[in-house]
Copies of this chain bind each other. A is one copy, B any other.
Amino acid sequence: MSLDQTATKPHEQLATHLGGGMEAVNTLIRTRMASEHAPRIPEVTAHLVEAGGKRLRPMLTLAAAELCGYDGPYHVNLAAAVEFIHTATLLHDDVVDESGQRRGRPTANLLWDNKSSVLVGDYLLSRSFQLMVETGNLRVLDILANASATIAEGEVLQLTASQDLRTNEAIYLQIVRGKTAALFSAATQVGGVIATAPEDQVQALFDYGDALGIAFQIVDDLLDYQGDSNATGKNVGDDFRERKLTLPVIKAIAAASPEERAFWQRTIEKGRQEDGDLDHAQSLLRKHDTLAATRTDALAWADKAKTAMRCLPEHPLRQMLIDLADYVVARVN
C-alpha cells in the first residue's frame, strides 16, 4: 500500500493531524500503566496497548476538544482515560469469551492467566478514574462513570440475551450501545465538555459518537456473514458458530416461518449445529434480504453521525470526522 493511499483513510488523517496530542496521550498511557510494586501490570498492559490498535477512541476525544477550541492540557488525560477503559474492557472480554486471539496475537489470558487479566483490568479501570479526577471536572467524571456502567450492563445483557430468540432489535441496540457506542459517545462528549462548548455542540458530539459506534458494530456483524476474511481479519460465520444473535439474524428470525424458526432454535438457542448449517443460515438471510436491510441500517446510523456534525464549527477535523463515518460503512458498500 502506498503512502498516498494510507493518507486517504480518515483515521490516518486524524492521527496525522493530532500527532503531538497523540504522542502526549501515548506517553501518559505508558507512565500510568506502570506499577511500582507489581511488574506484571505493565507487562500485561503493554502486550495489549502496544499491539497496534488504531487508538480510535482517544483520537475522538482529542479531535472533539480541538474542534471546540480547547487549548488546555486535560483532553490528553481524558483520551488516556478512555483508552484505559477500553483496554480494561478488552482484558475482561477475553476472559469472558475465553478468547485465544486478539489483533492477531495470543490474548493476555492465554499468555499469562485469567487472574492477571481480571486484576490488571481492574487496575486500569481505577487508573482511568485517577486520570479523570486530575481534570477537576465533575461532569466528565459523571459522563465516563455512566459510560463505564453502561458498558458492563451491556456485556451482562449480552451474556443472557445473545442466545435468546426473543432478543429483538431494541435489545440488540442496548447491547451494542454497551459493547461499543457508549465509549464512543463518551469519548466525543467529554472532549466538548472539557472545552466548555455550548450545550448543543456537546449534545451533537454525543450523538455523533453514539451513531458512529452503532454503525461500526452493525458493520462488524454484517461482515461476519458476508465479509472477505482476508480484508477483515474475521472468519465468515464466527458469530454463527459462537451462536451470537446479531442484527442480520434477528431480522431473519422476525420474518421466519415456523420451520425456519425451528432451525434458529436448534442452531443458536440450543447450539446443536451440523455440517451445512452455516450455508442454510446464509440462504435464509438472503431469502429475507436481511443483509441488505442491515446495511441500510448501518448507512442510516452513519448519516445520523454526519448530520450531528453540522452543529460543530467549520474545521478540518470536522471533515475528517464526517469522512470517518463514511469510512466505517464503506466496508460494506
**Distance (whole angstroms) from the CB of A153 to the closest CB of chain B:** 5
A115 interfacial by beta-carbon distance below 8 Å: yes
A92 interfacial by beta-carbon distance below 8 Å: yes
Instruction: Say yes or no: A146 contacts B130, CB within 8 Å.
Output: yes
Bound Cα distance A139, B115 (Å): 31
Q: Given A114-B114, A118-B118, A40 and B123 touching (CB < 8 A)? A: no
**Distance (whole angstroms) from the CB of A119 to the closest CB of chain B:** 5
Contact stretch, chosen from A100-108, A155-163, A270-278? A155-163
Instruction: Say yes or no: A123 contacts B152, CB within 8 Å.
Output: yes
- Oligomer copy total: 2
Q: Given A133-B142, A174-B37, A156 and B125 touching (CB < 8 A)? A: no
Chain B residues in 8 Å Cβ range of A146: 126, 130
Bound Cα distance A88, B126 (Å): 12
Contact with B along A126-163 (1 / 0, CB 8 A): 11011001001010011001101101111111011000
A35 interfacial by beta-carbon distance below 8 Å: yes
For A153, give its contact among B41, B156, B171 (CB under 8 Å): B41
Considering the complex, give the chain B residue whose CB is closest to the CB of A85.
B126
Chain B residues in 8 Å Cβ range of A118: 92, 95-96, 118
Instruction: Say yes or no: A157 contacts B38, CB within 8 Å.
Output: yes
Instruction: Say yes or no: A152 contacts B119, CB within 8 Å.
Output: yes
Instruction: Say yes or no: B156 contacts A38, CB within 8 Å.
Output: yes
Majority SS of interface residues in chain A? helix
**Distance (whole angstroms) from the CB of A175 to the closest CB of chain B:** 9
Bound Cα distance A152, B88 (Å): 12
A12 interfacial by beta-carbon distance below 8 Å: no
A120 interfacial by beta-carbon distance below 8 Å: yes
Considering the complex, give the chain B residue whose CB is closest to the CB of A123.
B152
A122 interfacial by beta-carbon distance below 8 Å: yes
Instruction: Say yes or no: A92 contacts B114, CB within 8 Å.
Output: no
Instruction: Say yes or no: B145 contacts A126, CB within 8 Å.
Output: yes
A116 interfacial by beta-carbon distance below 8 Å: yes
Chain B residues in 8 Å Cβ range of A151: 122, 126
Bound Cα distance A143, B308 (Å): 38
Bound Cα distance A34, B88 (Å): 23
Instruction: Say yes or no: A129 contacts B116, CB within 8 Å.
Output: no
Chain B residues in 8 Å Cβ range of A148: 122, 125-126, 129
Instruction: Say yes or no: B153 contacts A35, CB within 8 Å.
Output: yes
Bound Cα distance A129, B96 (Å): 23
Residues of A whose CB lies within 8 Å of any CB of B are 35, 37-41, 88, 92, 95-96, 114-116, 118-123, 125-127, 129-130, 133, 136, 138, 141-142, 145-146, 148-149, 151-157, 159-160, 171, 174
